């Protein structure tokens, strides 16, 4: 009897251990794509490369952003697709180079007049995540179309609070007064920077400094999202520190040591973003959502040097195909999933957000959806290069000529302001000071050819940022790629 009971006891123990092993195995096999993290995507407007503490700012305080960055992974070679905000933002939403979908130029001010926007056949990342069960929100600057069919609520966002144009004034007491004066005067089209903000298509009476208002609405969204029991995607699109340079008095006092007035105001505007982010993070903590929230922070393009920005050690700034135009500060923060206190130095593109976030959300991308980026999640985890031998392009059309750049690995070829093609070792010479085109002509030739091949995928712009630009495009035979891709001997 004793022997039988012992045998039964032994078999029970074995069964228990096997069951525990199966349970442990099942738990450990859960992939990150099955977790469906919340995604907080914070985008600044015209923020300089060196205008946040985590990227070396000597004079602008960003303690809350720095805390997130230092507990996450900082990207040192993060690129957007264009040195202007409209095309850059179009790429984030579509996963496409703007040149391939006709959005090479900013939409003109008050774009509702021309009725254009990003092609509705391009499925936005917001729609893909919404279809995957996400509660989606967009706050702040849109700049992707101001008529109904291009409205955020029709492009995959459940909730929108902000403005549809490319920028806005910051103090409601100022812009609402100016708006009412023009409205009473019978102006049919009032400058978009003065228009009332809206919530899901309805005008609202805003009373707070706009940066604070957007942070407030972000807190509201986070609280609402917690009640839905769904994962969320929040596109928090600040217009700061884009012009006009307008800051609160209490923020300006923190930067009295900065003598240059523009720089001082600009610094205070960046700080307003930082303290807003603190409130959003506190809301995530209070609703117990922070641990499963991926926070992404970056700028839509380089900072404007003539408006207080600092892109050191990069050359030039907004609008340029030198590094200062489209290489931006960026970090990822996600407890237990993103390495803390790490730098990722390999080149990445804003094109990579669409496939990477879709993977993390376990979202289905339609088979006919063209994407120009790639899923870089595994590479981030391994700190490996996601695009060995693969290019990152930049191109800006000017009056009568085109500026272009291409980077592959350590090499970057660039042609700007009708000058000859130059070649830089961008890893050794981040400031682009030493032209190596004569020393390595074969590398230059290879890069220029790849840029030329890429140009064959471009389409004609669907709009121009001004009527004159459109006329110049036709009369000057733009984009004049035959001239662009000639290498001077």
Separation CA 263–CA 59 (nearest Å): 10
Active-site residue identified among 82, 143, 397, 465: 143
Tokens standing for residue 230: 């769904």
Is 143 considered catalytic here?
A: yes
Residue from 335, 313, 424 nearest 55 by CA: 313
Separation CA 326–CA 317 (nearest Å): 8
For 48, 143, 237, the CA distances from 318, given in Å and listed in that order, are 9, 17, 18
> For the chain, what percentages of helix, strand and coil (3-state, to nearest 5) are there?
40, 15, 45
HEC string for 33-80: HHCCCEEEEEEECCCCCCCCHHHCCCCCCCHHHHHHHHCCEEEEEEEC
Q: Which segments within 226-313 are labelled E, that is strand?
A: 232-237, 293-299
Contact 253, 245 (CB under 8 A): no
Residue 430, preceding peptide bond in cis (omega within 30° of 0): no
Contact 337, 32 (CB under 8 A): yes
Residue keyed to tokens 């712009």: 461
DSSP label of 388 = T
Residue 16 has a CB neighbour count (10 Å cut-off) of: 10
Tokens standing for residue 267: 């610094």
Positive or negative: CA dihedral 238, 270, 111, 354: negative
For 40, 222, 252, 332, the CA distances from 290, given in Å and listed in that order, are 10, 10, 31, 13
478 phi/psi in degrees, rounded to 5: -80, 155
Separation CA 143–CA 260 (nearest Å): 30
Active-site residue identified among 85, 151, 337, 346: 85
Contact 2, 242 (CB under 8 A): no
To 5 degrees, how large is the angle CA 258–CA 276–CA 153? 125
DSSP of 229-240: TS-EEEEEE--T
Is 458 considered catalytic here?
A: no
Catalytic center residues:
85, 143
């Amino acid at each position: 009897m004793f022997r039988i009971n012992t045998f039964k006891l032994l078999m029970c123990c074995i069964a228990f251990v096997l069951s525990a092993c199966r349970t442990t195995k099942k738990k450990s096999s859960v992939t990150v794509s099955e977790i469906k993290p919340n995604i907080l995507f914070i985008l600044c407007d015209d923020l300089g490369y060196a205008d946040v503490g985590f990227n070396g700012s000597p004079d602008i305080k960003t303690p809350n952003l720095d805390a997130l960055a230092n507990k996450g992974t900082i990207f040192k070679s993060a690129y957007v697709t264009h040195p202007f905000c409209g095309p850059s933002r179009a790429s984030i939403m579509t996963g496409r180079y703007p040149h391939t979908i006709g959005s090479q130029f900013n939409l003109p001010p008050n774009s509702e007049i021309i009725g254009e926007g990003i092609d509705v056949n391009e499925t936005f990342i917001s729609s893909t995540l919404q279809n995957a069960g996400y509660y989606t929100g967009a706050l702040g600057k849109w700049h992707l179309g101001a008529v109904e069919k291009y409205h955020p609520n029709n492009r995959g966002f459940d909730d929108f609070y902000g403005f549809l144009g490319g920028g806005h004034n910051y103090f409601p007491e100022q812009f609402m007064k100016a708006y009412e004066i023009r409205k009473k005067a019978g102006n049919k089209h009032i400058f978009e920077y003065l228009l009332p903000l809206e919530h899901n298509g309805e005008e609202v009476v805003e009373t707070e400094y706009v940066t604070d208002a957007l942070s407030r609405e972000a807190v509201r969204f986070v609280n609402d999202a917690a009640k839905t029991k769904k994962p969320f995607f929040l596109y928090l699109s600040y217009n700061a520190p884009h012009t006009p340079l307008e800051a609160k008095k209490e923020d300006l006092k923190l930067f009295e040591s900065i003598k240059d007035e523009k720089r001082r105001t600009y610094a205070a505007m960046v700080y307003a973003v930082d303290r807003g982010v603190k409130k959003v993070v506190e809301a995530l903590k209070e609703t117990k959502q922070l641990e499963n929230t991926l926070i992404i922070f970056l700028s839509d393009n380089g900072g404007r040097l003539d408006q207080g920005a600092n892109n050191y050690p990069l050359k030039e700034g907004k609008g340029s195909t030198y590094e200062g135009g489209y290489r931006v500060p960026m970090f990822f923060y996600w407890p237990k999933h993103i390495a803390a206190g790490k730098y990722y130095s390999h080149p990445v593109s804003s094109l990579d957000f669409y496939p990477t976030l879709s993977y993390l959300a376990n979202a289905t991308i339609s088979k006919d959806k063209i994407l120009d980026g790639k899923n870089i999640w595994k590479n981030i985890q391994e700190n490996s290069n996601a695009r060995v031998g693969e290019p990152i392009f930049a191109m800006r059309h000017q009056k009568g000529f085109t500026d272009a750049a291409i980077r592959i690995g350590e090499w970057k070829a660039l042609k700007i302001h009708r000058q000859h093609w130059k070649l830089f070792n961008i890893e050794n010479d981040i400031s682009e000071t030493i032209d190596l085109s004569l020393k390595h002509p074969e590398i230059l030739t290879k890069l220029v050819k790849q840029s030329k091949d890429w140009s064959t995928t471009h389409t004609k712009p669907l709009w121009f940022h001004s009527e004159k630009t459109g006329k110049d495009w036709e009369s000057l035979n733009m984009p004049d790629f035959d001239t662009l891709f000639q290498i001077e001997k």
